[in-house]
Amino acid sequence: MKTAFVAGASGLTGSHLVNRLLESPEYDRVILLVRSSLRLSHPKLVQVEADFDHLSDLDLTVTVDHAFCALGTTLAKAGSKEAFRRVDQHYVLDFAELALKIGATAFCLVSSMGADPKSKFFYPQVKGETEEALKKIPFHRITILRPSLLLGERREKRLAERIFAWIMSRIHPIIPLKYKAIKADSVAEAMIHYAAVPEAGTFTYNSGELLSVIKRIHAAQSHVS
């Protein structure tokens, strides 16, 4: 049995991830790193309140196996480029360093389609820089997921995403697989799947690859049942 360590549990993908981890027989403890406690209760669940600006000062006596990061914000919500970088880069990397310190061997990150440190655009540039910095942290296995548009019910309504999702649904058949929208719950399912893969190294998967692995997982489950 393993212990999962999660940051970003209150977000769209993170909330699905927590539910799946709590249901999974592979994990007997799920530790959430949160700013303030979430309204969740489960025998497996442990919530640790922390100041994300000072994660290096956090003294945890627990040991974890797999770390999952679904931290992320938007420029509009962050309010500035500096604040966005603090969440999507500094918090992510500080969480990764903390996870390594308390024993995590596998680290899974939800990044973004188009992440590229050399991009001329701020958002994909920050995402790409974060990925490159993460690769230098010596985990046994690093999995980076680059989903396209995430589908699911968010707490906050994003009009632009709703419009884009509607457009994508109309042209879905002609969109190349790697650009297809994907359910946040499917991304969460893929994170748990890849964390358990023993092969060492750094692996990056786009939406098409995530959709394909989820299809294979479901097919295997149907065959067993």
Q: Which listed residue (27, 127, 183, 194) is catalytic?
A: 127
CA 155 to chain centre: 17
CB-based contact 123:75 (threshold 8 Å): yes
Calpha distance 29→166 (Å, rounded): 38
Q: Which listed residue (44, 123, 135, 179) is catalytic?
A: 123
Does the annotation mark 118 as catalytic? no
- H-only helix segments in the chain: 12-23, 75-78, 81-85, 92-101, 122-134, 159-171, 184-195, 207-224
Calpha distance 220→75 (Å, rounded): 40
Q: Is 14 exposed, middle or buried (0-12, 13-18, 19+ CB in 10 A)?
A: buried
Does the annotation mark 27 as catalytic? no
Query: Which residues form the catalytic set?
Result: 123, 127
